[in-house]
Structure 1
């Protein structure tokens, strides 16, 4: 599994949602062994599986597939303090920006 594989992105979504494979299986209807194969990149995920995983974990399909329209345009600088991990901070920022872009694409206005 490479850092940029779909399996790795599913594993990160699971970790971010603080969810086990078993819980994700219950929420999505995808069997735990199938989830394990998806995470290990032993088989490609189908679009309906990606949609179910994205919905259950609170991320977007673009984040799971690596087709993010935001990640390539974002530049950020920050100082990690208190044991914060820069890569985790960047992933969280990209997650929120990706959700914002998705809501804009759907015509859902921000509420002030």
Structure 2
């Protein structure tokens, strides 16, 4: 087993818990069995890109988030005037919006006119 698989599993746990899902909930949303999810999360099973896509979509994150390769946070520049929670919320929303646009591009969904 590679370190990458273990890290993907840890990121999946964090993403799943961040949205309040159990492994059983994730099974329902992703179509991947709870036992398989458990093995992925514990680093005892490699995950295919199709499974990773289903799991990421079910947790509301990007595949790159689970792979640890998302650089959107580094690309987002925010001219916030304060350091309060609202500024961080704006940054988080922008990362989400850009990530969603990137995901739609990956899926070949055309832009609206």
Task: Determine which structure has more spread, i.e. the larger CA radius of gyration.
Answer: 2
Unaligned runs of 5+ in 2: none
User: Where is the helix percentage greater, Structure 1 or Structure 2?
Assistant: 2
1:3-35 Cα offsets, whole Å, 9 max, x none, are x91111111210122111001112222111110
What is the TM-score normalised by the length of structure 1? 0.65
Q: CA deviation at 1:72?
A: 3.6
SS of the counterpart of 2:44?
coil
How many residues end up aligned between the 2 structures?
A: 106
* Stretches (4+) displaced over 3 A: 71-81, 90-97, 100-110
SS of the counterpart of 1:5?
helix
Matched, 1:9 2:11: yes
CA shift in 2, pair 1:20/1:57, >3 Å = same
Contact kept in structure 2, 1:13 and 1:57, CA below 8 Å: yes
CA shift in 2, pair 1:79/1:47, >3 Å = same
Query: Which residue in 2 is equivalent to 1:98?
Result: 99
Contact kept in structure 2, 1:11 and 1:39, CA below 8 Å: yes
Unaligned runs of 5+ in 1: none
